[in-house]
């Protein structure tokens, strides 16, 4: 004899399932998850880019990726409020990155790191915006899945297209061979510029008897001395016979003239607080 399940009088089975479903993901939740996973992946790509291309070992980048993993695990669940923590941490970390002088310089001057850094920032913003919106929609729906607003999808797609265009421009800039010519200062002396973490260019040709003009393009603090960083990130102070006096010269902007270099030779200057920041002066 068949038995029939008892239900409260007047209960509609089609409306019971959403109440029992305490969690959802929905299109926005899935978009936030994919963007957040991409955001973490770009940290790993950035770490190896700095290590293998730029020659700088920077462990905090790897640490950031590891710290983001628990939020990705939470976001992968189907709890309806799961997108919120990941969204907040995405927006906070993106804000932190954009406050760093080096990262601002990379974005403004299309440095090689731009190829990796721009998608990272874009994915972090998408994960933050989509995650917050998904949380709001999940709360309003009470567990039911809702369709994401069309304007939001169009905005995120437009952001993705903008980033792709910017990366293509960065690739063109990176592929253009640099002449290596050194700009001249107001008195015709060779000039080297300092970004927040590099010298540009990192090899300078100077005639014997000339001075070198060092220009800081940002307000980042630099401490200059004779020496160099090796590929493993170890600093090697050097005594450069015949070189002009230079000892722990602090620069936070502006410019300074070093010289004259009266003896032909090869001289090495490095920033003691920025790993991998070297410049070689060839005096002939």
* Structure confidence at residue 1 (pLDDT): 46
Look at residues 124, 143, 175 and tell me which one is the last residue of a structural domain. Answer: 175
Beta strand 265-271 with 278-283 is antiparallel
DSSP letters of 220-275?
A: --EEEEEEEE-TTS-EEE---TTPPP-SSEEESSEEEEE----S-EEEEEEETTST
* Together in a domain, 221 and 255: yes
* Structure confidence at residue 14 (pLDDT): 46
* Together in a domain, 106 and 239: no
* Together in a domain, 44 and 117: yes
* Structure confidence at residue 70 (pLDDT): 93
Task: State how far Cα 210 lies from the chain centre.
Answer: 38
* Together in a domain, 103 and 243: no
* Structure confidence at residue 179 (pLDDT): 41
228: containing domain: 191-283
User: How many Cβ atoms sit within 10 Å of the Cβ of residue 174?
Assistant: 15
Beta strand 203-206 with 235-237 is unpaired
* Structure confidence at residue 90 (pLDDT): 92
Task: Give the count of domains, the chain.
Answer: 2
Look at residues 147, 175, 203 and tell me which one is the last residue of a structural domain. Answer: 175
**Residue 12 forms part of a structural domain:** no
**Residue 58 forms part of a structural domain:** yes
**Residue 9 forms part of a structural domain:** no
* Structure confidence at residue 271 (pLDDT): 92
**Residue 182 forms part of a structural domain:** no
Q: Which residues of the chain are modeled with pLDDT < 50?
A: 1-5, 11, 13-23, 143, 145, 174-175, 177-182
* Together in a domain, 140 and 252: no
* Together in a domain, 27 and 115: yes
**Residue 33 forms part of a structural domain:** yes
* Together in a domain, 162 and 201: no
Cα separation, 120 vs 97, in Å, equals: 10
Look at residues 130, 145, 175 and tell me which one is the last residue of a structural domain. Answer: 175
* Together in a domain, 140 and 198: no
Looking at residue 255, which CATH number applies to its domain?
2.60.40.420
**Residue 186 forms part of a structural domain:** no
* Structure confidence at residue 60 (pLDDT): 82
* Together in a domain, 53 and 171: yes
* Structure confidence at residue 135 (pLDDT): 85
């Amino acid at each position: 004899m068949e038995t029939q399940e008892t239900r409260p009088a007047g209960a509609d089975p089609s409306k019971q399932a959403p109440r029992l479903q305490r969690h959802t993901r929905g299109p926005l939740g899935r978009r936030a998850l994919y963007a957040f996973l991409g955001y973490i992946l770009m940290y790993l790509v950035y770490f190896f880019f700095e290590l293998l291309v730029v020659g700088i070992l920077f462990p905090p980048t790897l640490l950031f990726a590891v710290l983001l993993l628990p939020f990705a695990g939470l976001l992968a669940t189907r709890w309806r409020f799961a997108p919120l923590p990941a969204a907040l941490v995405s927006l906070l970390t993106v804000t932190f990155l954009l406050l760093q002088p080096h990262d601002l310089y990379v974005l403004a001057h299309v440095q090689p790191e731009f190829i990796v850094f721009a998608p990272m920032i874009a994915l972090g913003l998408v994960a933050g915006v989509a995650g917050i919106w998904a949380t709001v929609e999940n709360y309003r729906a009470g567990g039911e899945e809702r369709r994401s607003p069309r304007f939001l999808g169009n905005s995120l797609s437009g952001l993705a297209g903008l980033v792709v265009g910017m990366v293509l421009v960065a690739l063109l800039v990176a592929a253009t061979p640099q002449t290596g010519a050194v700009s001249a200062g107001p008195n015709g002396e060779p000039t080297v510029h300092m970004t927040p973490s590099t010298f540009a260019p990192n090899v300078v040709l100077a005639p014997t008897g000339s001075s070198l003009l060092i220009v800081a393009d940002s307000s980042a603090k630099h401490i200059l001395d004779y020496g160099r960083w090796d590929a493993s990130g170890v600093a090697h102070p050097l005594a450069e016979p015949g070189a002009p006096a230079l000892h722990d010269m602090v620069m936070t902007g502006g410019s300074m003239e070093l010289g004259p270099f009266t003896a032909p030779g090869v001289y090495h200057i490095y920033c003691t607080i920025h790993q991998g920041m070297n410049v070689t002066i060839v005096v002939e």
